Structure 1
Amino acid sequence: MLHHIELYVSNLERSERFWSWLLGQLGYEQYQRWADGVSYRADGTYIVFVQAELRYMDVPYHRKRVGLNHLAFRAASREQVDALTDALQDRGITLLYAHAHPFAGGERHYAVYFEDPDRIKVEIVAPA
């Protein structure tokens, strides 16, 4: 079982706006807060967002380099995926693979794909 994930972000305020809404939709609650970070918890697993130090931000994140490619979350239903898709678009968030949505991962994989403010890919997957 996964205990926690910690992500360093380029702009904590911007990332917090994005992730607090999204994680709230998925059942996470704010867990901890300090000057340079915030975390959210659900079912014993938590996700931490920490402001990256300026001296380490000379090379921007890219999901196709070595390291994290994406985070995938379970949705409660296809209806939740659809509702989140609408809400993401209302918020001006561009969907990835929109031409194949909601089956971009295959005909049996109902999901929505998008990026966070630092271009980390996020996937929300409906139950099979």
Structure 2
Amino acid sequence: MLHHVEINVTDLNKAIEFWGWLLSELKYEVYQKWDSGISWKFKKTYIVFVQTEERFIQAGYHRSQVGLNHLAFYAESRQHVDQMTEKLRERHIPILYQDRHPFAGGADHYAVFFEGPDRMKVELVAPD
């Protein structure tokens, strides 16, 4: 079981707006808060977001470079993927691979792929 993931972000307030909404939808709850970070927890796993120091922000992030490519979460069902897709669209969150949605991951992989505020890819996958 994964214990936690820590992600540095360029704008903590934007991260809180995006991740707070998404993780709340996935039943995560705020776990810890401090001046430069926040975490959300579900069962025993938690995800931490920390404000990147100004001197490191210029380096930028891209999921194709060395490092984390994306986070994938389980949805409750295909219907949940569809409901979340609509909520993402309502919030104007970029949906990736729209031409192949909801099978962008393959014929047996029902999911929605989208981007967070630092352009990190996020995936919500229906169980088999």
In structure 2, C-alpha distance between the alignment counterparts of 1:79 and 1:58, rounded to whole Å:
40
Q: Which amino acid aligns with 1:42?
A: F
Q: Which amino acid aligns with 2:81?
A: V
The share of aligned pairs that are identical, in percent, is 56
Question: How many angstroms does 1:57 deviate by?
Answer: 1.0
In structure 2, C-alpha distance between the alignment counterparts of 1:27 and 1:37, rounded to whole Å:
20
Question: How many angstroms does 1:82 deviate by?
Answer: 0.4
**Residue 66 of structure 1 corresponds to which residue in structure 2?**
66
Cα deviation code 1:34-74 (max 9, x no counterpart): 00000000010000000000011121100000000000000
In structure 1, C-alpha distance between the alignment counterparts of 2:58 and 2:24, rounded to whole Å:
31
**Residue 88 of structure 2 corresponds to which residue in structure 1?**
88
Q: Please tell me the root mean square deviation across aligned C-alpha atoms, in Å.
A: 0.5
TM-score, L = length of structure 1: 0.99
Number of paired residues?
A: 128
TM-score, L = length of structure 2: 0.99
Question: How many angstroms does 1:94 deviate by?
Answer: 1.5
Q: What residue ranges of structure 1 are gaps of 5+ in the alignment?
A: none
**Residue 116 of structure 1 corresponds to which residue in structure 2?**
116
In structure 2, C-alpha distance between the alignment counterparts of 1:121 and 1:58, rounded to whole Å:
20
Q: Which amino acid aligns with 1:110?
A: Y
Q: What residue ranges of structure 2 are gaps of 5+ in the alignment?
A: none
